Amino acid sequence: MSDYVIRALTADELQTAVDWAGQEGWNPGLHDAVCFRSSDPEGFKGGFLDGQMIASASAVNYDDAYAFLGFYIVRPEFRGSGYGLQVAEAVKAHCQDRNMGMDGVVEQQDNYRKFGFELAYDNYRFAGTVGGILDALGRVEDTRVRPINALTDDLKSYDRGLFPAARDTFLRGWLEAPSHVSRVFEENGRIKGYATLRRCLSGYKVGPLFANNPQIAQALLVSLLTTLPADQAKAEVFIDKPNPNAQAMELAKQLGLTKVFETGRMYSSHAPDIDLERIYGITTFELG
């Protein structure tokens, strides 16, 4: 009789799940596994059939009230047999009674509704090229933008208004990760935006891209993309934007970006009170 075991993933096993995500076309960042696992090591679960990992799912508990689900992947040859569902139930149990968020692909949203999730809004992934975006923006850097590679109290406070929970551990790793480049926009001693660029299996992703207005979002993009060498001009850049932010949608149009993917932000209890008007780029579909 086959032995199916569900348990927390080791660091190497989580990297396997990230590799699966790459095979599914999710285009993860090169250092996503390390950054993600630091947030809640027990929240990344795997299903092991006769000792072989065949399924994964994650539920990162950010605090006592909020968690985020992701990494729901089952190896193709084992799909439709209930193995993935068992892992999903395990990560939901890890969340206990927290409000759970997730980004569900369109074709699976009806299934997620059966688990009690309701659609809050759509997210769109947009793509362009490094050179194309810089040409559209102009290449003049704003002196109010500066590098940041450490988590400050001011940055924690700014981020907290744009995410449903404090996520200090995650942000510390995100800012310090190799190949991640982060910039902050400050004016009169106050943070008015920040953003991170990370290398992915294909091209780059910008996330988060948080800004008080479109001009600040543009200044952050210029500063990030001008750090890349000239031979990356044709490399793709991906930014995930919440559809309710009309200014973010307009910016995508102005930059000539193309919509390439769509998810729905869904919650198990209620939509948290965050300022979507300042979210020009979601941090990541996997962890919110």
- The label of the residue with tokens 């729905």 reads 264
The C-alpha atoms of residue 252 and residue 118 are separated, in whole angstroms, by: 27
Burial 62-94 (b: 16+ CB within 10 A, else e): beeebbbbbbbbbbeeeeeeebbbebbebbbeb
The whole-number pLDDT of residue 149 equals 82
List the beta bridge partners of residue 199.
204
What is the rounded CA–CA span in Å between residue 58 and residue 42? 9
pLDDT (0 to 100) of residue 31 = 94
Please report the pLDDT score of residue 1 as a whole number: 40
pLDDT at 47: 98
Q: Are 248 and 121 in contact (CB under 8 A)?
A: no
pLDDT for res 139? 87
Domains of the chain are 4-101 (3.40.630.30), 123-281 (3.40.630.90)
Task: Provide the residue-wise pLDDT of the chain in tens; the chain has 288 residues.
Answer: 479 999 999 999 999 999 999 998 899 999 999 999 999 999 999 999 999 999 999 999 999 999 999 999 999 999 999 999 999 999 999 999 999 999 999 998 998 998 899 999 999 999 999 999 999 999 889 999 999 988 999 999 999 999 999 999 999 999 999 999 999 999 999 999 999 999 999 999 999 999 999 999 999 999 999 999 999 999 999 999 999 999 999 999 999 999 999 999 999 999 999 999 999 999 999 999
